[in-house]
Amino acid sequence: QSVLTQPPSVSGAPGQRVTISCTGTSSNIGAGYDVHWYQQLPGTAPKLLIYGTTNRPSGVPDRFSGSKSGTSASLAITGLQAEDEADYYCQSYDSSLSGSQVFGGGTKLTVL
């Protein structure tokens, strides 16, 4: 059971907008710690998608955006494309676990 909770799956048609939630607690996201998002294609290492809750590394399309409110964060993907089909993970820091990095359980995005 992951410290950060994500929906197991989401889906959307090409061109649509989808959001993936990441729910934490007052000791991680709610404490103000940054949230990071990763995209993982089958058989590959995770790729950084969003860092510092809202920032995109160079090369990541602006179709991807991040936000946070209270103890939850969200990843939004607009203009959905077939190549976006992948697993997505959120990550933050948890102060109640002896200073641990924590991941969400992951969300499988299916492009219909």
Interacting residues with other proteins (CB under 8 A): 2, 34, 36, 38, 44-48, 51-52, 55, 57, 89, 91, 93, 97-106
Q: How far is the CB of 19 from other proteins (least distance, A)?
A: 19
Is the Cβ of residue 13 or residue 59 nearer to other proteins in the bound state? Answer: 59
Is the Cβ of residue 84 or residue 94 nearer to other proteins in the bound state? Answer: 94
Q: How far is the CB of 15 from other proteins (least distance, A)?
A: 28
Q: How far is the CB of 14 from other proteins (least distance, A)?
A: 26
- Spatial distance between the Cα atoms of 92 and 102, rounded to a whole number of angstroms: 5
- Spatial distance between the Cα atoms of 65 and 102, rounded to a whole number of angstroms: 20
Q: How far is the CB of 36 from other proteins (least distance, A)?
A: 4
The token pair at 103 is 């991941």
Contacts of 42-48 spanning 24+ positions with Cβ under 8 A: 42/86, 46/89
Is the Cβ of residue 72 or residue 91 nearer to other proteins in the bound state? Answer: 91
Radius of gyration of the chain (CA): 13
- Spatial distance between the Cα atoms of 57 and 38, rounded to a whole number of angstroms: 11
Scanning the structure block, which residue is given the tokens 């676990």?
Answer: 97
Is the Cβ of residue 45 or residue 82 nearer to other proteins in the bound state? Answer: 45
